[in-house]
Amino acid sequence: MTTATGSGVLQRMTQRQQPDAPDVPLTASRAVRLALARGAQTSIGLPVTVGSVAEQALPLDELLAEFTDELLLISLTRDGAICGILACDAGLVAAAIEVMTTGKISAGAPDTRSITKTEGTLVQPLLRALLDELEETTARTSLDGWTRMVGLGPRFTSCRAASFDMTDGTYRLMRMTLDCGGPDRQGVMLLALPLQGSALADTQAASPDVPIADWHSLLNDTVMTAPARLDAVLHRMKLPLSVMTGLQVGQILPLQGCTVGMVRLVDLNGRTVARGRLGQMAGQIAVRIQACADIIPMTEMDGGASDPPERAMRTRASDIAAPQFMMDDGDADGEEEMDWSAAPLPLSL
């Protein structure tokens, strides 16, 4: 007996030591499940089982479309500013209230009703514990630092109110379905915070490290590359409403006293920026900028009594300047070569 025991001890001492089993790395989904179950149990004694965890990266508009006004919407803050949103449905709120008041969860499904202000205040310890557990359990995962220094803020009255307070950017949305003790006691929780990369980029863009000497050049380059709109106006005229409503495709409106050298480029406020001459380039309608001295002066045209009323229309400089009606340039495709003479231009519809 002694010899056998001794040989067994010596055999165990001399045999090769087996390496320890490697640690299974904690995934982000598993970390969220662990944080939610632990936070609910330690804060209010609510036993929950996480059914599924879904993750999405969404811009702000698409993010808020995932929320409804029936949810309990709590703002999340970091460094005193609103940075995210945390929401839970009435099923999770009702289960939490039942555990805190009666110590157990009833078997039947709760009544469908709006979440009151008092109920939203009572479940805040559960939500606070969830954030604390997430910061601890997500270490060394892809969510490391995602909920760091995040606190609970005021309640959002609606999704529209949340859109005004939240900053535009890309957010990570975590959607968790919960089993709160029975098949009829289900709950949903949503957590949205900015992505770590986008948050860092927004911070760097908000406070760029640019010397003051180069700031003026940077501002000038930014302003000069901003888009500006100019409208090319060939002619303005007044028409009776009866003529306007009777316009048909193929009808011709004579632009009396108007030539191709009377194009004006105006800004959005109606001020003339430059003058030019209408022509064509590479099959497209074009305007060539020219000096004011090159513009052919306009003259009044006499209309006889036998002429039709539309032929006797007089075009004056005051009529051109008055912003009454602007004719559209139309589609440039299929346009024939423009006439560069000073003859009146017909406008074909």
Backbone angles phi, psi at 254, to 5 degrees: -75, 130
The letter for the amino acid at 169 is G
Residue 63 pLDDT level (bands cut at 50, 70, 90) = very high
Burial (0-12, 13-18, 19+ Cβ within 10 Å), 276: buried
Domain 28-203 has CATH 1.10.1740.10: no
The pLDDT score that the predictor gives to residue 329 is 43
pLDDT at 24 over 90: no
Give me the chain's average pLDDT, please. Answer: 76
Lowest mean pLDDT among 13-17, 152-156, 254-258: 13-17
Query: Picking from 39-43, 84-88, 234-238, 323-327, which range would have the lowest pLDDT averaged per residue?
Result: 323-327
Domain coordinates in residue numbering, the chain: 28-203, 231-292+313-348
- The pLDDT tens digits for 229-253 are 888 888 888 888 988 888 889 888 8
Mean pLDDT of 102-125: 84
The CATH number given to 231-292+313-348 is 2.30.330
- Look at residues 184, 135, 172 and name the one whose alpha carbon lies nearest to residue 54: 172
Question: Is 60 exceeded by the pLDDT of residue 175?
Answer: yes
Residues 6+ apart with CB under 8 A from 284: 332
Contact yes or no for 193/150 (Cβ under 8 A): yes
Tokens of 272: 């003339």
Identify which of 240, 335, 203, 213 has the alpha carbon closest to the alpha carbon of residue 280: 335
Give the predicted TM-score (pTM) of the model.
0.51
pLDDT in tens, 273-308: 888 888 888 888 888 888 765 555 555 555 444 444
Using CA atoms, how far apart are residues 272 and 266, in angstroms rounded to an integer? 4
